[in-house]
Amino acid sequence: MAYSDKKNLLELVALMDAFGIHHVVLSPGSRNAPLIHTFVEHPAFQCYTIVDERSAGFFALGLAQRLRRPVAVCCTSGTALLNYSPAVAEAFYQEVPLLILSADRPSAWIGQADGQTLPQTNAYGSLVKKSVQLPEINTDEELWYCNRLINEALIALTQDGFGPAQINIPLSEPLYQFTETTLPKARVIKLENTTSTIDMDFFTTGWERYSKRMIVVGQLPPDHGLHEVLARLAKQTDVAILAEHLANLPLPEVMGQFDAVLSSLSAEEQAAFAPDLVITVGGHITSKRIKQLLRQHPPKQQWDIRPNGHVVDTYQSLTSVVPVEPALFFGLLLDRNDSTNTRHDYFHQWQERSLQIEHQLQGYVPKQPFSDLKAVSAFMQGLPDHVTLQLSNSSPLRYAQLFSLKPTIDIFSNRGTNGIDGVLSTAVGHAAENQKLTFLLIGDLSFFYDINGLWNRYISPRLRIVLINNSGGNLFHLIGGPKNSPALDESIAYKHNTTAKERATTLGFRYLSATTEQEYANQLPLLWNVDDQQAIILEVFTQTEINSIVFNSLYQSFKTHVK
């Protein structure tokens, strides 16, 4: 083995090894060739090469989602690192530890009309937790400085919650001198864990003061550790727990269809269902209705349990930020709870309406023509146990939320910034290190926008894609505003006639399609087969006009038949 002779690069690789950051997504290039060579040569690193930098960034994001540890992505100089920007933004808001390694020209040549140069340090602004530029090492002091900067950036990946960090590495020519046989023994600076103390007397008193208590759980990874403590809290106290699928909290005590419940409420009922105390946990919530309810009927107190201590005032009613792990907070609250009060009036109020919504939905779906709603219903009900589900933004996410999910299924979605631009690449990256089947439910615009996400060597045979092709951005036909514009079909929803068949077969996928309910029912079981060693795309064709009628009629039925 022979590594690059660049001392700042060697210090970086040695510290990444020490920090256990061993998965690296490489974007081909010349300025980063010393990095590429060294990572590929070193036996500790698992490397993936993705040509399209935008796709590479999301591929790395999917890997980090799956591994729950930092993953690096490495590019050449110039606009290459700007193509990582969407994935960096998603990682920041989804709190995923993504390490961006950007090779650069020497500082003296930035802005001097030299090739592939732009100001790269801090290129992501506030969307990274840390951005550092390494020196090119010529003295002991520069070595110390370089070591310190790398430690700072690597610590930032997991300090006060996860998130992205950038290390910019200037590299002077010659670039292709591979003369070092060992990595340096680099100093490692460790961040020691500390335990925050909180005044539980204040929170216990507040909990006991209010009878209408609500816990809203946003997006969380599957291993968040809240299942047992929230199940016990729900049994022993009167509390309504609201959580979408992305919270990975499949408990019978949890209201998963709360957005549909809220759509059924009259103005008078909204005040009755609104809580006096709200405890919020986790990341983003898709439902606009819960945001509107809490903004229009502000709770007397809202406590946000957020380990990094950031102020996130989504509902405009925040009164306390609690900088501890949620499981610890709820465990302490449970230990202090007086379980002699067995009344569950507020919980039963929410539960009764949720059951009515479920009953209405079960009666409504079978009577409808083949549509997105019916296709997603069959998909969600048929998913086997112990698989991973990636949900695309826009319509697929909202349809899926209407239907229950098996408790053994792990679920992910790029809700950090809610974009469609890297959904496919993220799922491919996730599947690359997933021993279970990985399913992706995706719409046509998201699929074709990110089609380069399928152009790589790492397509897992355990990947299953269900592509709902309704010839455009179906969500814009479901919400009110765009319908008023004559530009709806041509430029807002982008009506098209593109299909995935040729692309799928060219890229080595097994291609299936369905245009009727019976065809779809015949194809779905092929997706569930864990023994099929070929990635599969099932393209489902539906009609926009029918989708709009079926969806809007469903929500109208909630208003008229659920009381």
Mapping DSSP onto H, E and C, the string for 211-255 reads CCEEEEECCCCCCCCCHHHHHHHHHHCCCEEEECHHHCCCCCCEE
How far apart are the C-alpha atoms of 412 and 296, rounded to whole Å? 30
Instruction: Compute the residue count for the chain.
Output: 563
CB atoms within 10 A of CB 366: 8
pTM (2 d.p.): 0.91
Residue 28 preceded by cis peptide, ω within 30: no
Give the domains, in start order, of the chain with CATH numbers: 7-170 (3.40.50.970), 200-354 (3.40.50.1220), 368-561 (3.40.50.970)
Question: Which parts of the chain have pLDDT scores under 70?
Answer: 193-196, 338-342, 472-494
User: Do residues 230 and 241 touch, judged by C-beta distance below 8 A?
Assistant: yes
User: Do residues 61 and 84 touch, judged by C-beta distance below 8 A?
Assistant: no
How far apart are the C-alpha atoms of 98 and 130, rounded to whole Å? 11
What percent of the chain is helix, strand and coil (3-state, nearest 5)? 45, 15, 40
**Dihedral sign of CA atoms 229, 230, 233, 234 in order:** negative
How far apart are the C-alpha atoms of 438 and 459, rounded to whole Å? 11
pLDDT value, residue 17: 97
CA distance readout (Å), 475 to 339, 520, 529, 552: 45, 22, 31, 11
Amino acid identity, residue 385? Answer: D
The answer for residues whose C-beta is within 8 angstroms of residue 351's C-beta and 6 or more apart is 255
Beta bridge partners, 513, equal 539
pLDDT value, residue 311: 85
CA distance readout (Å), 49 to 37, 52, 408, 425: 12, 9, 32, 13
Amino acid identity, residue 89? Answer: A
How far apart are the C-alpha atoms of 490 and 424, rounded to whole Å? 24
Residue 441 in 3-state DSSP?
strand
113: left (phi over 0), alpha (psi -120 to 50) or beta: left
DSSP assignment of 94-153 equals: HT--EEEEEEE--GGGTTTT-TT----TTTTGGGSSEEEEPPPP-SHHHHHHHHHHHHHH
How far apart are the C-alpha atoms of 182 and 509, rounded to whole Å? 42
pLDDT value, residue 92: 96
Q: Which of 60, 86, 55 is nearest to 455 (CA)?
A: 55
| Buried/exposed code over 427-440 (b: 16+ C-beta within 10 A; e: otherwise) | bbbbbbbbebbbbb
How far apart are the C-alpha atoms of 3 and 176, rounded to whole Å? 10
pLDDT value, residue 342: 65
**And the tokens for 428?**
């491919």
Give start and end residues of each alpha helix (H) in 438-492.
444-449, 475-478
pLDDT value, residue 394: 83
Beta bridge partners, 538, equal 466, 512
* Backbone phi, psi, residue 487, to 5°: -90, 5
Helix H or strand E encompassing 168: strand 165-170
Whose tokens are 């929170």? That residue is 203
